Amino acid sequence: GQNIDQPTEMTATEGAIVQINCTYQTSGFNGLFWYQQHAGEAPTFLSYNVLDGLEEKGRFSSFLSRSKGYSYLLLKELQMKDSASYLCAVKDSNYQLIWGAGTKLIIKP
């Protein structure tokens, strides 16, 4: 079966750095996405990785290792507004997205 694993919840301090991990086992791989979802709102796109390595976009970076079935999202200089759920999703061999359950990130002052 297909499986995406992420921690259920993480806590970090304002101004710090946090890394959210995602491991996956899917039938095929055609890219990995990270989305942010604030409570009661729709998911919004953060990043896309299809090749191994690090993609940096401002305070957010995403890393992919296809051989290990592993990705992480790195958030720097955390702000209170970063409190949200972070969803990892993999595009499978049918080009459909398989979603993890999400990691709820709590930022404390």
Partner 1 sequence: IAGITQAPTSQILAAGRRMTLRCTQDMRHNAMYWYRQDLGLGLRLIHYSNTAGTTGKGEVPDGYSVSRANTDDFPLTLASAVPSQTSVYFCASSDGTSHNEQFFGPGTRLTVL
Instruction: Name, in order, each residue with C-beta under 8 angstroms of 56's C-beta and a sequence gap of 6 or more.
Output: none
Residue of the chain from 10, 23, 29, 31 that contacts partner 1 (CB under 8 A): 31
Residue of the chain from 29, 60, 70, 99 that contacts partner 1 (CB under 8 A): 99
Residue of the chain from 33, 34, 63, 72 that contacts partner 1 (CB under 8 A): 33
Q: What angle do CA 84, 100, 54 make, to 5 degrees?
A: 75
* Phi and psi at residue 82, to the nearest 5°: -80, -5
Q: Which of residues 36-95 bind partner 1 (CB under 8 A)?
A: 41-45, 48, 87, 89, 91, 95
